[in-house]
Amino acid sequence: MTSGRPPVLSIRGLCVDFPSRHGTLRAVRDVSLEIAPGEILGIVGESGAGKSTVGAAITGLLQAPGQISAGEVRLSGDIIDTRDANAMQALRGRRISTIFQDPLTSLNPLFTIERQLVDTIRAHRALSRAEARVEAVRQLEAVGIPEPAQRMTNWPHEFSGGMRQRAVIALALCSQPELIIADEPTTALDVTVQAQILKLIQNLARERRVAVMLITHNMGVISQITDRVAVMKSGEVVELGKTSTVLSRPCHEYSQALLSVVPRGDVKLSRFPVAGSARNIDAAMKWLLESNSQHGSGGADALVELRRVNRVFGVPRLFGSVTHGAFKALDNVSLCIRRGEVMGLVGESGSGKSTIAKIVAGLNPPSTGELLFNGEDVYAARFEVRQHIRRQTQMVFQDPYSSLNSHMRVADIIMEPMIHFGLEKNRQLAEPLMLELLNAVGLEASAARRYPHAFSGGQRQRISIARALASRPSFLICDEPTSALDVSIQAQILNLLKDLQEKLSLTMLFISHDLPVVRQMCDRVTVLQKGQVCEIGEADDVFNHPRHRYTETLLSMIPSMHRPVELIQATS
């Protein structure tokens, strides 16, 4: 604590254990923290450091058999860690709100945004349904959703990822809580929306005196809005202090290592400086390159090309027209991805990035226009050709947990595409190759016997990459592959993708809202705005000399550890 104000949150000697038949895992060790009214405390650390476990312990949402084994948690002086489940349920939402990382887990797909907001407001505040609806519109407007009165009648699936997260934040604010636990609240957001959300959180802390615990792996975000920062490793707080001091002069070697792998937007590095022993992956590389004529040498020939592609979402009428309420997601997009290059795709939420990814992956045909793969018109090709293209094109998704079958062991997840596409005849032949792929992505052979839930986020993303490679692709679509990962794990995954791309001459479409990551990974960059291409160029040219005003705006909003908070307020 840096002032004499009584803390909203006080944690003393907190320990969290997860007992099992193999022994007890201590996930949190002797953690002591305080957050004053109006203060924003940042929590950083690697995946598995215990950041989210601390948040779950505060709110009474520890997954069984997790339990608080020592210490105490106080909210405005009241001990809350000993309350029963019913008392904690009454506390959550009213006095403590949580903003989770994945908005789809926080929104009910069976109810409209309006019903969820209105029901939440009325559960915690004595308002009529009409008054609650007015308040719901106000909250949606406060988090930057356009035309809130009209959009609140939508269902969650009709919102983009960024808009869903904004709706979740609106839900968290409805009860006017004392404490907000924001667990990666801007992970799924582009830089412009992120700036709005950061300003909103900052205003809540300063004007309403709300205490905020901000859990994030984005050091730029930590620098922009937090007053103090706690660095966690293996369940312990290894460094705690003023944000400016910790970021500029970190004392602990772990803090120094974290800061060294933060992606830079001003210069491109060949590799991120993360530790890791080199593995012998020759056998995996030999199999991946075998009989794959589509791997190129990085020449100028196009492997994937979009020609005048339009995509309209709406109810079709007769003779090809669409209803008045139709939405044009892509507007005359032409894009060429050269063989062997990494093409970056950036733009705000709703700009059309994921729509392009689905079209290129063969999942969603364009309304008009053509998609060419190695000169073949994908959607006009016969079935056998499309199957061959499908094998050649694989995707690494943003959330590795939802993209992996939770009921299958890792071995079966990786071997499935090998056998499905006829690359190996049976499981017996596929198994040694599966183990080689696990080794190639940095996992031990023992991982093959386990299920996806037994792994951290970074490990699950490695499994996703191994599965994508199992079909011997020549084209890899990476849709926000590291946005859910902390900086050190992100650096490892990006290094892995760099190595695989170079060794296999893979062509890649790399979609991300994290512009420094795009700078590090991509040869060329395409900038999208409202479904239109506004700029395409070499990565260095786009970042150093942007030609379009929208590109300049995006670059100006990149959170930096060296930019003052006033600048982010001005740009949003």
* CATH number of the structural domain spanning residue 467: 3.40.50.300
CA distance 18 to 69: 9
Please report, in angstroms and rounded to a whole number, the separation of the first and last CA atoms in the chain. Answer: 30
Are 371 and 489 members of one domain?
Answer: yes
Average pLDDT (441-466) is 90
Q: Please identify, among 116, 149, 172, the residue that sits at the C-terminal boundary of a domain.
A: 172
Tokens 């792929």, residue located? 437
Q: Is residue 12 part of a domain?
A: no
Q: Contact 69/78 with Cβ under 8 angstroms?
A: no
For residues 288 and 164, membership in a common domain is answered with no
Question: In this predicted structure, what is the pLDDT of residue 144?
Answer: 77
Residue 439 lies in a domain: yes
**Three-point CA angle 351, 268, 263, nearest 5°:** 70
Bin 495: left if φ > 0, else alpha if -120 < ψ < 50, else beta: alpha
State mean pLDDT over 186-193. 75
Q: Report if residue 481 sits inside a domain.
A: yes
Under a CB-based contact definition with an 8 Å cutoff, are residues 159 and 113 in contact? yes
Judged by phi (left if over 0) then psi (alpha if -120 to 50, else beta), residue 162 lies in alpha
For the cut 70, the answer to whether the pLDDT of residue 572 exceeds it is no
The whole-number average pLDDT for the span 531-556 is 93
Given pLDDT bands bounded at 50, 70 and 90, which one contains residue 490? confident
- The pTM is what? 0.78
Are the beta carbons of 226 and 38 closer than 8 angstroms? no
Phi then psi dihedrals of residue 426, to 5 deg? -150, 175
Question: The domain containing residue 112 runs over which residues?
Answer: 102-172
Helices (H), 441-486: 457-469
Query: Is there a contact between 326 and 525 (Cβ–Cβ < 8 Å)?
Result: no
Q: How many domains does the chain have?
A: 2
Which domain-ending residue is among 172, 199, 218? 172
Question: How far are the Cα atoms of 390, 473, 475 from residue 468, in angstroms, in the given order?
Answer: 11, 7, 10
pLDDT at residue 208 tops 90:
no
Q: Which two tokens stand for residue 59?
A: 């709110």
The Cα 51–Cα 33 span in angstroms is 12
pLDDT at 236: 95
Q: Is residue 184 part of a domain?
A: no
Could you tell me if residue 394 is inside a domain?
A: yes
For residue 345, being part of any structural domain is answered with yes
Q: Taking residues 328-338, what's their average pLDDT?
A: 93
Tell me, what's the pLDDT at 278? 61
Q: Which residue has the higher pLDDT, 30 or 191?
A: 30
Domain contains 437 = yes
Residues 155 and 299 reside in one and the same domain:
no
Average pLDDT on 339-355 reads: 90
Q: Which residues contact 509 (CB under 8 A, 6 or more apart)?
A: 304, 337, 343, 345, 356, 357, 360, 475, 476, 477, 478
Are residue 301 and residue 420 in the same domain, yes or no? yes
The token pair that represents 536 in the structure block? 């395409």
Task: For 96-113, write each residue's pLDDT tens digit.
Answer: 988 887 777 788 999 999
Choose the final residue of a domain: 131, 150, 172: 172
CA-to-CA dists, residue 569 to 183, 211, 221, 310, 470, angstroms: 22, 20, 13, 36, 46
Please give the mean pLDDT across all residues of the chain.
Answer: 86
Residue 510 dihedral angles phi and psi, to the nearest 5°: -110, 110
- Answer yes or no: is 388 within a domain: yes
Return d(Cα 77, Cα 287) in angstroms, integer: 62
For the cut 60, the answer to whether the pLDDT of residue 299 exceeds it is no
Q: How far is it between the farthest Cα atoms of the chain? A: 73
User: What share of the chain has pLDDT > 90, as a percent?
Assistant: 48
Same domain, 320 and 466: yes
